[in-house]
Structure 1
Amino acid sequence: MSIAFWITAGLLAVVALVGGITKTFVPKQKLAAAPGGQWTANASTGFVKTLGVLEILAAFGLILPAVTGIAPVLTPITAICWVLLMIGALITHYRNEGVSPVMLLNVTYLSLAVFVAFAAA
């Protein structure tokens, strides 16, 4: 795999891990007060924590299969799942805030995930 793949997959994995840890362990009220986190005010705590756990799993799914060579098909599958998650994030942010700067980040992460999916396939 190319250096560009590893840099992109690593960056995306860090984003997923940080976002997942935040959603899983930071109280919902604190998330709702943060920029870009307003959507959590209208979501259940269980939903937010579930998204967090899925993001943590995505962080591992983007890297471990490619590194270990065990079920490497899971890396592009995880990247495609991340694309779907980012589409959901775009819809959620648009419904709650209209067009916002956070949506640019979502589009960036979506684009990185598309690259990872194709590069790993």
Structure 2
Amino acid sequence: MNVFLWIVAGLLAAFFLAAGGNKLAQSKAKLGENPNMKWTEDFSAGTLKLIGTAEVLGALGLILPAALDIAPILVPLAAVGLAVIMAAAIVVHVRRKEYKTLPINAVVLVLAVVLAIFRFGPNSF
């Protein structure tokens, strides 16, 4: 089970590192050109940078604390934080009637919740 949880953590970290890095590296106008990122119209540039920063820090929090054996309790906390971000993303997409991205958001949300549950509980560090 530990190997499975490490794989889930690695996949989530890669996903959120890419997504957050993208939000940090590109301007709001550039992000809005992507048809899957039209939701960015509802947020300020500063808010988008904050979301990107939270995603990157969450991605690092999924891997580094356990890998370095420094405060490994941060792993499930990072998973919870990323699950909250994904739940908020689902709400935004439903309000904007952008249903195409919901399956990806739902899968990532479920993976983050599973990781949080198992790292808090039976497979903690």
Q: Offset at 1:94?
A: 1.1
Q: Does 1:109 align with 2:108?
A: yes
Partner amino acid for 2:81? C
Aligned to 2:123: none
Match of 2:62 in 1: 62
1:89: which partner in 2?
89
Q: What residue in structure 2 maps to residue 44 of structure 1? A: 44
Give 1:99 shift.
Answer: 4.9
Distance (Å, rounded) in 2 between the aligned partners of 1:74 and 1:11: 17
Aligned residues: 120
Q: Deviations over 1:63-87 (max 9, x none)?
A: 1111112111110011011111111
Q: Which TM-score applies when normalising by structure 1?
A: 0.94
Aligned-partner Cα distance in 1 for 2:113–2:36: 23
Q: Say which is worse superposed, 28-37 or 69-78, in terms of deviation.
A: 28-37
Change (3 A) 1:99 1:38: closer
Q: CA deviation at 1:101?
A: 1.9
Q: Report the Cα distance in structure 1 between the residues aligned to 2:49 and 2:90, rounded to whole angstroms.
A: 19
- Distance in 1, matches of 2:107 and 2:35, equals 17
Q: Distance in 2 between matches of 1:92 and 1:19?
A: 16
Q: Which runs of 5+ in 2 are unaligned?
A: 121-125
Amino acid corresponding to residue 109 of structure 1 in structure 2:
V
Give me the whole-angstrom Cα distance separating, in 2, the residues matched to 1:99 and 1:19.
18
Provide the residue aligned with 1:19 in structure 2: 19
The list of structure 1 runs, each at least 4 consecutive aligned residues, that deviate by more than 2 angstroms after superposition, is none
Q: For the residues of structure 2 that align with 1:8 and 1:91, how far apart are their CA atoms?
A: 24
